[in-house]
């Protein structure tokens, strides 16, 4: 733009060589123009290579005319009313007290003490009180109303106190009325100053032009004035802070055949018997039998002796407790387990010690959790039932199935056994 005559229109006020002025000069000139100067200055580069500056300035705010304040009380005046009145008068505000049901001045801001002097006004509100409330709202459209109430969002002791929060939000939304709420955990030292501070903030926001809605909900707790803000928080971490001692859970079936009724239920696990171990499960294998039980095709509870959930025939876990007769394991061992007499798909389960075997380091938890059923099936059928001997051959059928692919893998490990086929079978429970 330096080629145009308008570029040099500023020469008369002392600028030489360029129409630019420094942020310091902008600050002085903005103050002369009725601004508070430069609130924020961000340069595009370090000196002396700066060409542009982003400057934020706001108009000078003139002192607010002190509005009179009406303290709305019930039949019995709470001692806290006197404390708040003293703080307001110290700040130069004119203060009046008016009992509930009397006519309120239209040019006064209002602080209500009704909810902290007894039960909340909206709790079992009478027709007379409701009409009085509606008249108050209708007559104070241009005033600031600050409604004091017991805590409802932080350290709530009476949920009834939350009713006014919903009503206040509706009033603000539908009537654009300055109806704010302040929840008070107590009325000890500092609370009165907090009430006066909130009212002052409401009065200041009434004269500001701002695209953002002013804060209308405050909480006095832990001797600090709190306002609501969205922030990222881990639900899991928050729940841990208030959660009790962890309980043993197991996946249970509400109605066999309806998968949407699967749910986690409490499955208390006591001390193990002399020949039992308690396991904290890390991985549980899902078998076709589990699917059939969940679908209601087979019962699954006919062999169940401990717990209510028949799901989980095999899995991987870590020993947490040992029975007095268990010698082949110790607490902390990583083991694979199999069984259908106790809950298997749970956070902590209980199994007979003979059904738990330590896992080689070469196997992961996931790999070990899927091995017991298929390998035991192979051993039971081929060794115990069929009496398979070295040199004999078998025929494999449906080898692509979950169990049969594992069966094929197990045979490949036996170099002296010729694998040809295996007739599909049904293995009964146990």
Question: How far is the C-alpha of 310 from the C-alpha of 305, rounded, in Å?
Answer: 9
Asked whether residue 10 carries a pLDDT value surpassing 60, the answer given is: yes
pLDDT of residue 414: 39
Residue 207: pLDDT band with limits 50, 70, 90: low
Asked whether residue 418 carries a pLDDT value surpassing 70, the answer given is: no
- Kindly tell me the sign of the dihedral angle through the C-alpha atoms of 15, 19, 20, 21: positive
Q: Find the range with the poorest average confidence among 1-10, 47-56, 334-343.
A: 1-10
What are the two backbone dihedrals, phi and then psi, of residue 185, each rounded to the nearest 5 degrees? -70, -35
pLDDT of residue 406: 40
Which residue bears the tokens 């340069």? 43
- What token pair was written down for 153? 């969002």
Residue 362: pLDDT band with limits 50, 70, 90: very high
Q: What is the DSSP string of 120-134?
A: -TTTT--HHHHHHHH
* Residue burial 377-413, b: 16+ Cβ < 10 Å; e: rest: bbeebbeeeeebeeeeebebeeeeeebbebbeebbee
Instruction: Tell whether omega for the bond before 48 is within 30 degrees of 0, i.e. cis.
Output: yes
**First-residue to last-residue Cα distance in the chain:** 92
Whether the predicted model's global pTM rises above the 0.85 cut = no
Tell me the per-residue pLDDT of 56-85, one tens digit each, with 9 for 90 and over: 998 876 554 557 899 998 878 888 898 999
- What token pair was written down for 44? 């595009």
- Show the domains of the chain with their CATH numbers: 21-60 (no CATH), 69-227 (3.40.50.11460), 249-362 (3.90.180.10), 373-420 (no CATH)
- What token pair was written down for 309? 């959930």
pLDDT of residue 405: 38
pLDDT of residue 352: 94
pLDDT of residue 417: 36
Residue 11: pLDDT band with limits 50, 70, 90: low
| Secondary structure (3-state) at 421 | strand
pLDDT of residue 398: 61
Count CA atoms closer than 13 A to 107's CA, side-chain side. Answer: 5
**Is residue 173 packed enough to be buried (19+ CB in 10 Å), middle (13-18) or exposed (0-12)?**
exposed
Greater pLDDT, 206 or 60: 60
């Amino acid at each position: 733009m330096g080629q145009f005559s308008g570029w040099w229109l500023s020469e008369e006020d002392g600028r030489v060589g360029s129409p630019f002025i420094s942020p310091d000069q902008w600050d002085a000139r903005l103050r002369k123009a009725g601004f508070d100067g430069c609130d924020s200055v961000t340069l595009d580069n370090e000196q002396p290579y700066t060409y542009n500056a982003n400057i934020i300035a706001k108009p000078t705010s003139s002192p607010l005319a002190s509005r009179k304040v009406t303290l709305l009380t019930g039949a019995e005046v709470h001692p806290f009313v006197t404390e708040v009145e003293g703080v307001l008068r110290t700040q130069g505000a004119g203060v009046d007290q008016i009992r509930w049901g009397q006519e309120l001045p239209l040019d006064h801001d209002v602080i209500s003490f009704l909810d902290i002097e007894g039960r909340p006004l909206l709790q079992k509100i009478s027709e007379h009180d409701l009409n009085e409330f509606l008249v108050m709202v209708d007559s104070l459209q241009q005033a600031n109303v600050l409604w004091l109430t017991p805590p409802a969002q932080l350290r709530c002791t009476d949920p009834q106190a939350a009713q006014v929060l919903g009503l206040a939000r509706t009033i603000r939304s539908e009537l654009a009325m300055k109806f704010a709420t302040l929840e008070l955990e107590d009325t000890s030292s500092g609370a009165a100053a907090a009430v006066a501070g909130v009212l002052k903030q409401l009065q200041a926001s009434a004269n500001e032009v701002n695209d953002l809605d002013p804060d209308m909900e405050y909480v006095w707790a832990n001797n600090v004035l709190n306002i609501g803000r969205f922030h990222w928080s881990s639900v899991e971490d928050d729940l841990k802070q208030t959660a009790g001692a962890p309980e043993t859970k197991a996946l249970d079936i509400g109605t066999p055949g309806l998968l949407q009724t699967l749910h986690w239920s409490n499955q208390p696990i006591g001390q193990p018997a002399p020949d039992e171990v308690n396991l904290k499960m890390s991985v549980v294998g899902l078998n076709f039998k589990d699917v059939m039980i969940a679908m209601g095709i087979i019962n699954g509870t006919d062999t169940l002796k401990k717990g209510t959930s028949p799901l989980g025939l095999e899995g991987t876990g870590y020993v947490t407790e040992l029975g007095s007769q268990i010698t082949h394991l110790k607490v902390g061992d990583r083991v694979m387990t199999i069984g259908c007499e106790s809950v298997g798909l749970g956070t902590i389960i209980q199994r007979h010690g003979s059904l738990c075997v330590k896992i080689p380091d070469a196997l992961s938890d996931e790999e070990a959790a899927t091995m017991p059923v298929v390998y035991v099936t192979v051993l039971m059928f081929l060794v115990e039932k069929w009496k398979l001997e070295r040199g004999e051959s078998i025929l494999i059928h449906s080898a692509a199935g979950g169990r049969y692919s594992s069966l094929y893998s197990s045979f490949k490990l036996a170099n002296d056994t010729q694998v040809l086929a295996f007739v599909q079978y049904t293995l009964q429970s146990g």
